[in-house]
Structure 1
Amino acid sequence: MKVTRLTKWDAYLANGQKTGRILTRGQSIPDDLYHLAVDCLVQHVDNDILFVQRHLEKESFPGFFEASAGGSALYGEDSKQAVRRELLEETGLVPAKLTFSKRIVYKEDQYLMDRYVALVDCPKDHITLQNGETIAYQWVTKEDFKRFLEKYSVVPAHRLMLESLFLDK
């Protein structure tokens, strides 16, 4: 789904409480209000992690791999509905299990980020890439994870998160 300038969001307080106000993408967000965003790490039941490659024309990190699907929750959506919609739009996948991980408050950028892990049980070649968003995908085993990070450019925030989860320090 292509997000347009008229996309509407629910307004939240930093504690996650909805305010009843509506925000519009592209317009200033009043101080002390936030919109809700979601992302999820996609893990196959065999423990492999899904990486998708960002389109070469993306404004940020073109051609980089990322280990998530996500975006902004639309007006009226809760976080689980938003993450399921984003996962379906960006990969064609429906999670067998969706586990909430944590909420991060980004005060400077005025959004709340709900993070999930989506467990999928599907044939690995059943990924549908989102036109204009992604151009390739790879399933990466935990054993090949370090080599993958050495070989490919990965969105820095995803690299840090995944290194903390999967690599021994």
Structure 2
Amino acid sequence: MLDSEDSEEETKQEALPGTSWNELSIIERVGLNSVEMSEKDLETAFCQIALAFRCDRYTLRQRLQAEEHARNLAEENIQLELTRGKETLETLKGLCLDSERSKILQRLELSLDILSGTVERIFNTAEVLGAVHQEARVSRAVELMVAHVDNLRRRHDRHVAALDEAKKIIQQQNSWTMDPRVSPGL
């Protein structure tokens, strides 16, 4: 039985054939989504992701400034339109003399106030959502990097154990050749 994360992965993988290579993230390009990777594939993917992080670092400040500018501009435009709507509503209030239309304009004013607060919450939520999406992308890359480091650690431990074993054998051989009671032919 697949959990929701596995089924989401399969859905993404099924959608990939129609996606162009340039639209794929570096994680999808190096095949991090595959369940099992050989040590060599893992090392290759690690190198590619490390290079991608280095390259991204060069343009990060400009991209961040551009995105902040676009967000600020969108917020300013929405606030400007809300302000214009409120000003138009105030103009209508001055022209409207009967109570029934005044009540309608009051409801419209309340709706504009609610809309203003809702837009502010949407801005905040969108920013948090963007941060969570980025965290998910980075989390996959970090997962691959941790797996690579674990492989390196295991390889290092095997090499250390083999080196220790070789040292013991050499020490034993040296002690045998140094011991006059042991004949060299044994």
- Higher-Rg structure is 2
Structure 1 length-normalised TM: 0.22
Choose between structure 1 and 2: higher helix proportion.
2
Choose between structure 1 and 2: higher strand proportion.
1
Structure 2 length-normalised TM: 0.21
